[in-house]
Structure 1
Amino acid sequence: MSAPLLDICGLSVRFATRRGAFQAVDGVDLSVAPNELLAIVGESGSGKSVAMLAIMGLLPWTATVTAEHMRFDGQDLLTLTPRQRRALIGKDVAMVFQEPMSSLNPCFTVGWQIGEALAQHTPLGRRERQARVIALLEQVGIPDPVRRARAFPHQLSGGMCQRVMIAMALACKPRLLIADEPTTALDVTIQAQIMDLLQTLRLDTGMALVLITHDLGVVAEAADRVVVQYAGRVVETQPAATLFTHPHHPYTHALLAALPERATGARLEAIDGVVPGQSDRPAGCLFAPRCRWANAHCHAVKPLPADAALGRALCHTPLDDAGQPIALNLENAA
């Protein structure tokens, strides 16, 4: 097995607030292999985007980022100087942000904005950059790319702007692309086109892709491996093929049960309660207040990950292949 392109151990992100520190990401372990499509799923507030923004170095000054290690292709991201980070981010590691209309600068044409990335990271001259911009717009499926390059963001549709964001991220041929909800607020037809585009580009270029999404249908169809995140922690990691048939963490099981296509009665399944915030984080398992199988031990003691056969489920009583809880050895919980 090849060495991971991205290797993160114990990533934590804390934000300073008026009422103290808020733990947005809590000890996340993550690895991405070359050419792998890793999907990260979980409710809003689970810390998915924050963890990826920490990798990009795009968090505000109120954030404190710590980790045992955070490496890209063996390079320590925690010790990069500003100059080294600027040379890496945008070139070898790129990101498609969640809101294309707010991520693009309304004062400049989309062609100029794509060209800015090329000017920063490549030795191309002005005419070469212009030709590369047109080629990128054509590559992401934008019709009449010469005219569109001269357009401002407000003159393009949401789907077009999302394609522009993808073109900008791909401009310098990154080895790792992070796509944060790339199909949000797009109609179903455009969603399918965007995902087909990302998949095609991944297979053609060999880049690794981290996909942050709420769309479990996209995950089932496209992902190689899935990380389930809850309240800032990774609660399960499995290949996509087995996660949907044998979820082992009660939270993963509840997420899948809430899918409309899995509804067996007149009402859809729902997960009661909300993701814990700054002032209501449980002492034990973070999912315990919402878990149907939680007991007193779950509420009092933090769980440790189960073994790989159980998806590394962060649970005292992970579920077996039949969806029934297994009581693990609780003496090792901490």
Structure 2
Amino acid sequence: MTLLRLRNLSVEFATASGRFRAVDGIDQDVDEGEILAIVGESGSGKPVSMLAVMGLLPWTATVTADEITFDGQDLLKMEAAARRRLIGKDLAMIFQEPMSSLNPCFTVGWQIREALRIHLGMGRRERQARAVELFEQVGIPDPVKRLSAFPHQLSGGMNQRVMIAMAIACKPKLLIADEPTTALDVTIQAQILDLLTALRDETGMGLVLITHDMGVVAETAERVSVQYAGQKIEEQPVGPLFRTPHHPYTGALLDALPERATDRHLPTIPGVVPGQFDRPAGCLFSPRCKFADATCKAQVPPALGPELGRARCFHPLNTDERVAS
């Protein structure tokens, strides 16, 4: 069953020099119990689409869509009060920077208990017992003592676990994890990913994993959506995507993995993701693509069929024609 459904989602930001489209016509589905990874370079609009779903974008953002539904509820028509009751309870998010997301003026225990009070109406003893249970669940030692700590008194890995505990406190149906392993050492990264996967297996929640780490994607995700300059340019199950990418950008991302390097020098993608003032007329990847021709630079490529990963490209990789040539 489809848990989250987005159709033609776009997000524009008002700037001093005009409007900038950070998300451009994205369609996305997330099923119950599924782990979907959204990948791409910085500037690809990965978190913005999910923040739009959460209703957490600043006033400078304009969100438009043909459809945004969650668990059968139309978020576009939902009143603000009803949406606030939903966000944090059934639809939760782990933010990228725990030190800037946690309130430095309150203990981590108070912040978790406050979420339980607002969303579940628990009494004081219930809240304390549930907070201890959550800390144990995410692997925080000596949970009773840690609940009395302020964010600055905990390590980055501990604060990330606190953020996960807060996000799963109300047993959400969908959890969005924005770069949950950023700035953590490899051992802690593995523990966090194992924890998220175990929570999915235990509760059946859907999980959206926003990351630029293709190694994390290979080990954790079931389906992968590749974004570039605000557009979704390819989507496949994780196995086929790694074996036979169809968009040249996806292929270039995979070629840049250290374990795939065949030479002393690691392959890179020249140039940068286009911004507000340097967006090309045709394919947004054309200035950086070695396969681009005059058509690519002048016309917007259509999305291809599911057999080609719905890649938005005039010259997809790993087709019979490309192999034959």
TM-score (norm: length of structure 2): 0.98
- Summarize the alignment of residues 148-227 of structure 1 with structure 2, pairs less than 5 Å apart: 148-227=146-225
| Distance across 2 between alignment mates of 1:307 and 1:321 | 12
> Match for residue 330 of structure 1?
none
Identity among equivalent positions (%) equals: 68
Q: Which runs of 5+ in 1 are unaligned?
A: 328-334
Question: 2:78 is matched with which residue?
Answer: 80
Q: Does 1:97 align with 2:133?
A: no
The equivalent of 2:231 in structure 1 is 233
Q: 1:323 to 1:14 in 2, by over 3 A?
A: farther
Change (3 A) 1:111 1:314: same
The separation in 2 between residues aligned to 1:185 and 1:67, in whole angstroms, is 34
TM superposition shift of 1:176: 0.1
Task: Please name the residue that 1:128 is paired with.
Answer: 126
| Alignment RMSD (CA, Å) | 1.3
After TM superposition, the structure 1 = structure 2 runs for residues 262-273 of structure 1, keeping only pairs within 5 Å, are 262-273=260-271
Deviations 1:16-50 (A, max 9, x none): 01111000000011100000000000000000011
Matched, 1:44 2:42: yes
Question: What TM-score do you get using the length of structure 1 for normalisation?
Answer: 0.96
Report the CA distance between 1:321 and its aligned residue: 5.2
Would the aligned equivalents of 1:317 and 1:325 in 2 still touch at CA under 8 Å?
no
State the distance in 2 between where 1:116 and 1:85 align.
Answer: 18
For residues 256-294 of structure 1, what are the alpha-carbon distances to aligned partners after superposition, in whole Å with 9 as ceiling and x for unaligned? 000111101111100000000000111100000000000
CA distance in structure 1 between the aligned counterparts of 2:309 and 2:138, rounded to whole angstroms: 35
Query: Does the aligned pair in 2 maintain the 1:246–1:322 contact within 8 Å?
Result: no
Counterpart for residue 8 of structure 2: 10
In the TM superposition, residue 323 of structure 1 has moved relative to its aligned partner by 9.9
Question: Secondary structure of 2:76's partner?
Answer: helix
Counterparts of 2:213 and 2:153, CA distance in 1: 28
Q: Which amino acid aligns with 2:258?
A: P
Moved over 3 A (4+): 321-327
Residue in 1 that maps onto 2:280: 282
Alignment-derived partner of residue 312 in structure 1? 310
Change (3 A) 1:325 1:103: farther
Q: Secondary structure at the match of 1:79?
A: coil
Letter of the 1:205 counterpart:
T
Aligned residues: 325
Q: Distance in 2 between matches of 1:290 and 1:72?
A: 36
